[in-house]
Structure 1
Amino acid sequence: MTMKETQPVLEVRNLCTTFKRGGVLLPAVRDVSFDVRQGEVLGLVGESGSGKSVTLRSILGLTRRHGEVTGEVRWQGRDISRLSDRQLRQVRGGEVAMIFQEPMTSLNPLLTVGLQLIETLKAHTDLSRAARRDRAIEMLDHVGIPAAASRLQDYPHQFSGGMRQRVMIAIALAAEPKLLLADEPTTALDVTIQAQILDLILRLSQEMNMGVILVTHDLGVVAQTCENVAVMYAGRIVEQGAVRQVLRAPRHPYTAGLMRSVPQDIAPRTPLYSVPGTPPSLEMLPRGCAYAPRCEVRTEACLSKRPPLETISTGRRAACFNPVPAIQGEVA
């Protein structure tokens, strides 16, 4: 059975997350919808503040204490957005796991990495005490930490940045989840370690037939690791489709601008392109298309109406009244 024939394990429909500050409503995520299938790697890309991380946290109900979440998050057929916090704790870590951006702030500095690994196994498996220790060693070895058995008693500060991220991955995957939410897992790591971490996540995804949502702002990472991509701007998905389609022939002006920002075959001393302007504040979102103030091809309609996310070709969706023309021979 091919991926296209399988049913989605995660279905997100019209997800909205709104925070309130000083009586002002801040819509951080607006009408976000996408699917993830078993073994699929979906990329969420966009500038900082576009709503990528809030989307992941909203899926697991981690934003409930600070904001209002509406819409549906159907995990293996059941809407987990309606579950209580106690019920959600059975899903988090066991069925759906998450890797956060900065491992040094996500790991407890007062507990050994072995204890933090074993806590996850105790909460989500029926393994005995001895089996949990063996499994912890196995996971550390699985993610490439040398002398795994001797590192169980070490604390997070005794590991390098790359090794701490590997520990985070080991903790996330210890209970063999079916979906991994990876929130910029290579942030603050050097290029060599970034490649190792991404290769590790991809390899484990294939070995465990695990779906992955990878949040990143690096289009190079998306091109190398993801099969499908959703481009976010000001809390909305503005373009969505297969990676090779979206990156080779972007249809939304924002996606096209991001692609132009990646240096490719340019002469020395040529000024690098950057998307003009800055993302809008959540307190002052434009009336129409949020990208209109920065867009070079905006029309009057863009300033007054919000474009819906619509299908523009097979497997492609874009939210734009004036999309970039399709190129001849566009990849289907």
Structure 2
Amino acid sequence: MTDHPILEVENLCTTFSRGGTALPAVRDVSFALGKGQVQGLVGESGSGKSVTLRSILGLARHYGEVSGSVRWQGQELTTMSERQLRKIRGREIAMIFQEPMTSLNPLLTVGTQIKETLTAHTDLGRRARRDRAIEMLDHVGIPAAATRLEEYPHQFSGGMRQRVMIAIALAASPKLLLADEPTTALDVTIQAQILDLILKLADEMAMGVVLVTHDLGVVAQTCDTVSVMYAGRVVEQGAVRQVLRTPRHPYTEGLMRSVPQDVPPRTQLYSVPGTPPSLFSLPQGCAFAPRCQAAGPACQTARPTLQDIAPGRQTACFHPLPATQEDAA
């Protein structure tokens, strides 16, 4: 964490309602992000990562109830009106959504979609907007940018569509980028290119990034800090190097063991036993207890809270894994 974070999320909760039943999708999520820092949110599908991003940007409150605090450069976003938020979205905080083919409008050229952002958030004239759109496509590595400006999303490959999404998000030079699994469904070569591009632009623009992913390899390569989420809660967080090298929560350890490393041929790969709980039937105690070999009686009835276990390191577990000399340092 930094002394002067640009984004502070405290006790963020998002609850949906279905048939009169309250479904807590995000519960008590807290983290801080400094200028130029990359924060990772990692966990299995359904752990609340994407909902967290949408809650930060005020998008989740259209279909759910959001509480807690989200402070952006000292401004409280959760109490802002929709009109006030529209001035911040795209201009100060931008978001890359998970699937570019469904996020891009198939009826509009990519140039039109980039220029829409510039029209809404800048004072640039028509010619200047076109020049900026060409500049952004060129900046994200799309060749013949002036020509491709007039093409439609279906004329681009998956990797190129993702680059277009990045160009739209960064067109107005935001100071915070929320990236929701920007490399999903892309081959590993294109994944590496997209991640390198985001990191390069973040460095050049002194931009903070919150990166949602389920890939621990991506986290290791790109993030400074990481929050591991399970069933809507943060169960462990800290510096990437510490969390991935010496996980203290059994769920984090399970995720690490699920990454194949030097596995002999025809060897069964490890997976965390069981499946994540449904929002309709969350356990009374620790949500991970039904899948955890270390769970004890307290885990069945009480819910552990996030506690400091080392400087800048937190975990929510009644039976954390043993500390190492690196943790104590």
Q: For residues 99-148 of structure 1, give each alpha carbon's deviation from its aligned partner in whole angstroms, at most 9, with x where no partner exists.
A: 00000000000000000000000100111111111000000000000000
Distance, in Å, in 1 between the alignment partners of 2:117 and 2:75 is 23
Q: Does 2:272 align with 1:275? A: yes
Q: Does 2:320 align with 1:316? A: no
Q: State how 1:154-233 maps to structure 2 within 5 Å.
A: 154-233=151-230
Distance, in Å, in 2 between the alignment partners of 1:224 and 1:115 is 34
Distance, in Å, in 1 between the alignment partners of 2:218 and 2:61 is 30
Which consecutive residues of structure 2, in runs of 5 or more, have no partner in the other structure? none
Segments of 4+ moved more than 6 angstroms: none
Local SS of the residue matching 1:198? helix
TM value normalised by structure 1: 0.98
Equivalent of 1:326 in 310, 323, 326: 323
Local SS of the residue matching 1:43? strand
Distance, in Å, in 2 between the alignment partners of 1:11 and 1:222 is 20
Q: State how 1:75-90 maps to structure 2 within 5 Å.
A: 75-90=72-87
Q: Does 2:261 align with 1:258? A: no
* Corresponding residue for residue 234 of structure 2: 237
Give the CA deviation at 1:331: 7.8
* Corresponding residue for residue 61 of structure 2: 64
Equivalent of 2:107 in 104, 110, 113: 110
Contact 1:177–1:210 (8 Å) recurs in 2: yes
Distance, in Å, in 1 between the alignment partners of 2:13 and 2:139 is 37
TM value normalised by structure 2: 0.98
Give the CA deviation at 1:63: 1.0
Distance, in Å, in 2 between the alignment partners of 1:83 and 1:266 is 51
Equivalent of 1:91 in 88, 92, 113: 88
Q: Does 2:245 align with 1:248? A: yes
Q: For residues 45-71 of structure 1, give each alpha carbon's deviation from its aligned partner in whole angstroms, at most 9, with x where no partner exists.
A: 000000000000000111112100001
Distance, in Å, in 2 between the alignment partners of 1:268 and 1:73 is 48
Distance, in Å, in 1 between the alignment partners of 2:262 and 2:293 is 24
Number of matched pairs:
329
Distance, in Å, in 1 between the alignment partners of 2:2 and 2:274 is 39
* Corresponding residue for residue 50 of structure 2: 53
Distance, in Å, in 1 between the alignment partners of 2:55 and 2:11 is 12
* Corresponding residue for residue 292 of structure 1: 289
> How well do the aligned residues superpose, as a CA RMSD in angstroms?
1.0
Contact 2:17–2:23 (8 Å) recurs in 1: yes
Contact 1:39–1:206 (8 Å) recurs in 2: yes
Distance, in Å, in 2 between the alignment partners of 1:330 and 1:73 is 29
In the alignment, residue 12 of structure 1 is paired with which amino acid? Answer: V
Which consecutive residues of structure 1, in runs of 5 or more, have no partner in the other structure? none
* Corresponding residue for residue 300 of structure 2: 303
Local SS of the residue matching 1:126? coil
Cα distance change, pair 221–331 in 1 and its aligned pair in 2 (3 A): farther
Give the CA deviation at 1:4: 3.8
Give the CA deviation at 1:292: 0.4
